[in-house]
């Protein structure tokens, strides 16, 4: 099989705008799933609400497209009730960290055996570009017309602190690394959290002068800094760029987990 066999041909074309990162991230995720040799009949994809969460509907497996913010709570029920099923969750930054923030930290704490892919585009895409808990200070959105005044969440750090067994961050530019990270997540028992910085040209890009999808990718390429390097610079007291996107693996551990197949 290839990742294409994991997509519902009869659901295409998808709803995403041209230049949106979500398609790339879906492809990378399903390529990783494909490498696991999972049985599509024993795989469940769960998502919340948002452009990102529409991903579940494009996967050729059982899929549960739930309510805004609650994907992890639904997925917890699926996985605890039937641990032999493989469960992947797609979510967005608003879905996961705003309305679903409580479920996020508790799913990490339970360390339930799910792989969670968050398409973090720093904005509410589906509802037309409002600020989210990851919108950077100063960034423009329809609800932060003078620049975001609230500090943003660091989702990867949050997942580490809350107890997830595997945490990584990449961007939609890093397709190979992303694929590998998702695969590592799928292989790790317990909660695996992969934050993917995503471009939303329609809403975030337009407001914040990232005109073309290629400009966004260029930004991801030039601003990304490997976590090991970032940590070294900080340890040495050297300056780090304020807009660096720290990418790489944040944690990989084998703490006690729930819902792991016997």
Partner 1 sequence: MQGNVASAEGALAAGCRFFGGYPITPSTEVAERMASRMPKAGGVFVQMEDEIASIAAVIGASWTGKKAMTATSGPGFSLMMENLGFAVMTETPLVVVNIQRGGPSTGQPTMSAQGDMLQCRYGSHGDIGIVALAPNSVQEMHDLTVKAFNLAERLRCPAFLMADEHIGHMRERIDLPDTVEVVDRTQLEPGTLPFAAGPGLVPGFPTFGKGHRVHVTGLTHDERGYPATTDPEVHAALVERLVRKVEGARREIADYVVTNPDAEVVFVCYGAPSRAVAQLVADKPDEGIGVLRLRLVWPFPEHALAEFSNATAFIVPEQNLGQIASEVERHTDLPVVPVPKLGGELHTPAELARVYEGVRR
Ligand X SMILES: Cc1ncc(C[n+]2csc(CCOP(=O)(O)OP(=O)(O)O)c2C)c(N)n1
- In the region spanning residues 13 to 72, those forming contacts with ligand X, defined by CB under 6 A, are 49-52, 68
Cβ distance to ligand SF4 smaller for residue 76 or 141: 141
Per-residue tokens: 141: 């959105």
Which among 60, 121, 110, 127 is positioned nearest to 88, based on CA atoms? Answer: 60
Cβ distance to ligand SF4 smaller for residue 21 or 165: 21
CB of 70 to ligand SF4, least distance (A): 20
Alpha helices in 36-127 (DSSP H): 71-81, 93, 101-110
Question: Between 37 and 76, how does the x/- string for binding to ligand SF4 read (CB under 6 A)?
Answer: --------------x-------------------------
Cβ distance to ligand SF4 smaller for residue 11 or 42: 11
Cβ distance to ligand SF4 smaller for residue 66 or 216: 216
Cβ distance to ligand SF4 smaller for residue 109 or 207: 207
Distance CA 101, CA 103 (A): 5
Applying CB under 6 A, does 127 fall inside the site for ligand X?
yes
With CB under 5 to 8 Å by kind, the binding choice for 84 among ligand SF4, partner 1, ligand X, none is partner 1
Q: Which residues contact 203 (CB under 8 A, 6 or more apart)?
A: 121, 123, 124, 125, 128, 129, 141
Q: Which residues contact 134 (CB under 8 A, 6 or more apart)?
A: 93, 97, 120, 122, 152, 153, 155
Cβ distance to ligand SF4 smaller for residue 121 or 135: 121
Per-residue tokens: 128: 């037309």
CB 103 within 8 A of CB 112: no
Q: Which residues contact 23 (CB under 8 A, 6 or more apart)?
A: 14, 16
Question: Between 72 and 111, how does the x/- string for binding to ligand X read (CB under 6 A)?
Answer: --------------------xxxx----------------
Task: Classify the C-alpha dihedral 117-51-39-33 as positive or negative.
Answer: negative
CB 169 within 8 A of CB 250: yes
Applying CB under 6 A, does 139 fall inside the site for ligand SF4?
no
The binding site for ligand SF4 (CB under 6 A) comprises 16-17, 20, 22, 51, 121, 125-126, 200-203
Question: By the criterion CB under 6 A, which residues form the site for ligand X?
Answer: 49-52, 68, 92-95, 119, 121, 123-127, 132
């Amino acid at each position: 099989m290839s990742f294409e066999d994991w997509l519902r041909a009869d659901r295409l074309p998808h709803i995403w705008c041209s230049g949106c990162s979500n398609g790339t991230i879906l492809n990378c995720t399903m390529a990783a799933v494909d490498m696991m040799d999972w049985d599509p009949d024993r795989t469940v994809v769960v998502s919340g609400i948002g452009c990102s969460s529409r991903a579940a509907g494009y996967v050729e497996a059982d899929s549960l497209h739930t309510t805004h913010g609650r994907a992890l709570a639904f997925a917890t029920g699926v996985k605890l009730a039937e641990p032999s099923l493989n469960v992947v969750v797609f979510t967005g930054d608003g879905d996961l960290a705003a309305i679903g923030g409580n479920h996020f930290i508790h799913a990490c704490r339970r360390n339930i055996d799910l792989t969670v892919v968050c398409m973090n585009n720093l904005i509410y895409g589906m509802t037309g570009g409002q600020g989210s808990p990851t919108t950077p200070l100063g960034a423009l959105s329809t609800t932060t017309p003078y620049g975001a005044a609230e500090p943003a969440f660091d989702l990867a750090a949050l997942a580490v602190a809350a107890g997830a067994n595997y945490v990584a961050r990449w961007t939609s530019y890093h397709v190979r690394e992303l694929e590998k990270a998702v695969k590592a997540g799928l292989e790790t028992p317990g909660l695996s959290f992969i934050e993917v910085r995503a471009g939303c040209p329609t809403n975030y890009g337009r407001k914040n002068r990232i005109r073309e999808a290629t400009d966004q990718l260029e930004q991801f390429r030039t601003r990304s800094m490997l976590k090991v390097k970032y940590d070294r610079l900080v340890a040495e007291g050297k300056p780090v760029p304020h807009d660096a996107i720290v990418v790489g693996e944040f944690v990989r551990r084998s703490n006690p987990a729930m819902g792991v197949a016997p």
